[in-house]
Chain A
Amino acid sequence: MPTMNIIEAVRDALRIEMRRDQRVVVLGEDVGKFGGVFRATSGLYDEFGADRVIDTPLAEAGIIGTAIGMALYGMRPVPEIQFGDFIFPAFDQIVNELAKFRYRSGGQYPCPVVIRTPVGGGIRGGHYHSQSPEALFIHTPGLKVVAPSNPYDAKGLLLACMRQNDPVLFMEPKRIYRASRGEVPEGEYTLEIGKAAVVREGTHCTLLAYSGMVSIAEEAAKKGEAEGVSIEVVDLRTLMPYDIDTILASVKKTGRCVVVHEAPRTCGFGAELIAAIQERAMDHLEAPILRVTGFDTPFPYTLEHEYLPNADRVLGTVRQTLEW
C-alpha cells in the first residue's frame, strides 16, 4: 500500500472523484495554476483544466455563494477556503444560505457543497492563520462538520462527503498536513460520516479528540502507559453528527473522560460533548468530565506553545480525574 501525507490523501480523493464524476469542480483562491497554498490541488488544473479547477478572485462570500448556486443546479462544487480564518467573510453565505437550503425549500434543494479548509495552530501563524472555528458551524443546523486526523481518514471521509447530498465543512489539520503520514489504499474507498474510531484502547479514562489533537491525545496515552495509566483515545472524525454511541460505550467502560480541543474553551465543542455524555451516562461517571483546550483569547503569535494543548497538559488533566 502506498503511504501518503494528509495533503496527498486529500488531493488523491479530489482526483478520484473528479475523474469519476463530471459534476465535481474545485474552486478557490490560487487552487488552479498555483496548486493551492498548501499544494492540496496541485496537478488538478493540468489534468482537468480551468473549467473544473477554478481560480477565483479574492472573494470568500462569492466563492461559497457561487458554489451554492452550482450545487442547486446539480453540480458538486468543492470550494477551498485558503485558511479557516478567512471563512468569516463567507459566514453569512454558509449559515444563512448553504445550511438552510434543504429545509427552506421543503426538501427540494439539498445543497451538496463540500467546503475544504485548513484549521488549527502550530505553524506560528498568529491571529489569522491558526484558528479552529468548528463550534460556530457545529452550532449551525443543516451542516455536517468533518475533521479527520490522518491521511487514511482524510481520503475516505472526503470521498464520502463528495458522494452525499448535504453541505459539509471539511476541516483539515494544517499543522500535521505533511507530518502525518500513513498507509492509504490506492483507488476508491469511503468511510462512514458520523462514525468515530477508537484509536487506542484503555480502561482508566477516555480521551475524546479530533483533528490535530488526536496525535497529542495518543502521545499523552503513551506517556500515561509508562506510568500505569491506561487511556482510551477516541478520534471523533465527524463532529456533526457526532458519534454518541461510540463515545458513550467508551465512557461507560472507563468511567472517566477528558475532552481535548485547540479552540477556546467557552462554548467550545467540548461543552457540547460533556453535556451530551452526562445527560446519558451520569451513573457511569466516576469523576467530572474535564477539558483541555485553547484559552479564551485570540490565537496568540508568540505563546502558541502555551496555548495549544500538549501531552503533559492532557495527562495532567487525566490524572486529576483519576484522583477525584
Chain B
Amino acid sequence: MRMPKDAGDALDDEPVPATIEELQPLYRQMLAIRRMEEASAKAYSQGKIGGFLHLIIGQEAVCVGATAALRPDDYVVATYRDHGHAYAKGMTARSMLAELYGKKTGLVKGLGGSMHFFSREHNFLGGHGIVGGHVPIAAGAAFASKYRGDGRVTLCFFGEGASTIGGFAEGLALAGLWKLPVVLICENNQYSMGTPMYRSLAVEDVSMRALAHGMARDRFDGDDVLKVKQRIAIAVERARETNEPTLVEVVTYRFRGHSMSDPGLYRTKEEVEEWKRRDPLGRARSLLVELGAAEADLHALEDDVKAEIADAVGFAESSPVADEYLPYVIKE
C-alpha cells in the first residue's frame, strides 16, 4: 500500500501584478536565451559543438526571473544546464557560444564547454557537471558572505533529480543549521533524465525537505517570469536581512530531451504539447500585448535579439580554437 502523501501546498498559479517596464526586459532575456540555445542546437547537429549539450528551452522563466531578484554582486551557482543562468547573470551570448565551440574567447577559454561556465566578473560560480555536488559549495559561498558581512546572497539551482543525492541533503542540512544566506532553487522540470518524478521521489514535493531543516520554503508555478522574480525576491530579502535560507521549488518543464542525444521517448507528444501551452515566452509576450505594448516595439526587440545571436554565432565561429590547457592545473 502506498501511504497517503502530504502533497504540500496546492500549486499556486495565480497571476501577479505586471507592468510593461518590469516585464519587457525579462521577456527580452528569455528570448535571447531561447534563440541562443536554438543556435547552439543547430551548431551541435553540425558537429561544431561537441560532447553533451543540455538545453533549458521551456524553463527560461526560472533563471531569468530568479536572477532578476538579485543585486549584481550576488552569487549564482548552477548545474550543467547553465546557459540561461549565465546569460541572466550578465554574461554575453558571444562569450557563451564561443565557450560551447571550444574557442579561446569563451567564458573559460574554451576549456570547459557547455556544462562548465564560470565568470569571476559576474560572481558566477559554475556550471557543475556532477549532480548535487554544488549544493554544499553554494552553502560555502553563503557562509563566506555571512562571515564577511558583505550582505550578498547566493542562489543555487538544481533539478528535482538532484534532491536524492547526498550532496543535496548535506548542503541543505548545513544551510539550515548555520542559517546561511542562500536561496536553494529546485527547478522541477518533471524528469530526471528519462525518469519521471513519481518514479524517483516518494513525496513529490521537494520543498517539503525544508521542514526537516527549520528552513523557509516556497513552491509555485515557474512559467510566469514575474511571479518567479517576485517570489524569489522575498526569499532573497529574507536571506539578506536575516541570513535565513529558503528552499524554493519552481514547477516547470523542459521542452527538449535531457540533452541533445535524448529523443525523449519516455513521454508522450500530448504531454509535451500540453506543457508547451504554458510556454513562458508565449505567456510573457501575450501579457505584454495585453498590457498595451506596441507590436512594432516587440518586433524591434525580437529583431534586436536575432541580430545579437547572429553576431554571437559569427564571433564563436571566427574565434581561435583553444590551444592550451596545461597552465590552469596548479599554480604555486
Contacts and interface: CB of A to CB of B under 8 A. Distances in A.
Interface stretch (A10-18, A52-60, A177-185, A211-219): A52-60
Contacts of A59: 164-166
A202 interface: no
Contacts of B266: 33-34
A30 B192 CA distance: 9
B192 A58 contact: yes
A157 B329 CA distance: 37
A37 to B, nearest CB: 7
Contact of A126 (B113, B132, B192, B194): B113
B133 A58 contact: no
A89 B165 contact: yes
B190 to A, nearest CB: 14
B323 A37 contact: no
Nearest to B113: A301
Contacts of B200: 55, 57-58
A301 B112 contact: yes
Interface string B294-332: 000000000000000000000000000111011001000
Interface stretch (A161-169, A190-198, A270-278, A291-299): A291-299
Nearest to A62: B164
Nearest to A37: B193
A274 B235 CA distance: 58
B282 interface: no
Contacts of B291: none
Contacts of A123: 51
Given A59-B166, A302-B110, A302-B113, A127 B195 contact: no
Given A58-B165, A60-B165, A30 B329 contact: no
A57 B192 contact: yes
Contacts of B164: 57-59, 62
Contacts of A48: none
B115 interface: yes
Interface string B130-152: 11110000000000000000000
Which residue of B51, B165, B321 has the most chain A CB atoms within 10 A of its CB atom?
B51
Interface residues of B, number: 35
B129 interface: yes
Contact of A128 (B115, B132, B194): B115
Contacts of A144: none
Contacts of B193: 29-30, 34, 37
Contacts of A301: 50-51, 102, 110-113, 116
B201 A298 contact: no
A124 B167 contact: no
A50 to B, nearest CB: 9
Which residue of A29, A59, A301 has the most chain B CB atoms within 10 A of its CB atom?
A301
B329 A298 contact: yes
A225 B145 CA distance: 63
Contact of B52 (A88, A129, A296): A129
Given A129-B52, A295-B326, A57 B131 contact: no
Interface string A111-145: 00000000000011111110000000000000000
A302 B50 CA distance: 9
Contacts of B129: 85, 126-129
Contacts of B131: 58, 86
B107 to A, nearest CB: 12
A34 B166 contact: no
A303 interface: yes
Contact of B112 (A29, A85, A127): A127
A65 to B, nearest CB: 10
A296 B165 contact: no
A79 interface: no
Interface in B114-131: 115-116, 129-131
B280 interface: no
Contact of A303 (B130, B194, B325): B325
Given A59-B164, A125-B52, A129-B51, A34 B195 contact: yes
Contacts of A125: 50-52
B5 interface: no
B199 interface: yes
Which residue of A58, A129, A298, A303 has the most chain B CB atoms within 10 A of its CB atom?
A58
Interface string B161-174: 11011110000000
B171 to A, nearest CB: 13
B128 to A, nearest CB: 9
Given A34-B195, A127-B115, 7 more contacts: A30-B194, A58-B164, A58-B192, A123-B51, A125-B51, A301-B110, A301-B116
Interface of A: 29-30, 33-34, 37, 55, 57-62, 85-86, 88-89, 123-129, 295-298, 300-303
11 contacts: A29-B193, A30-B193, A89-B132, A89-B165, A128-B115, A129-B52, A296-B329, A297-B329, A301-B102, A301-B110, A303-B325
Which 6 A-B residue pairs are closest in the complex by CB-CB distance? A124-B50, A128-B129, A34-B194, A57-B164, A302-B102, A302-B322
Interface of B: 50-52, 102, 110-113, 115-116, 129-133, 161-162, 164-167, 192-195, 199-201, 266, 321-323, 325-326, 329
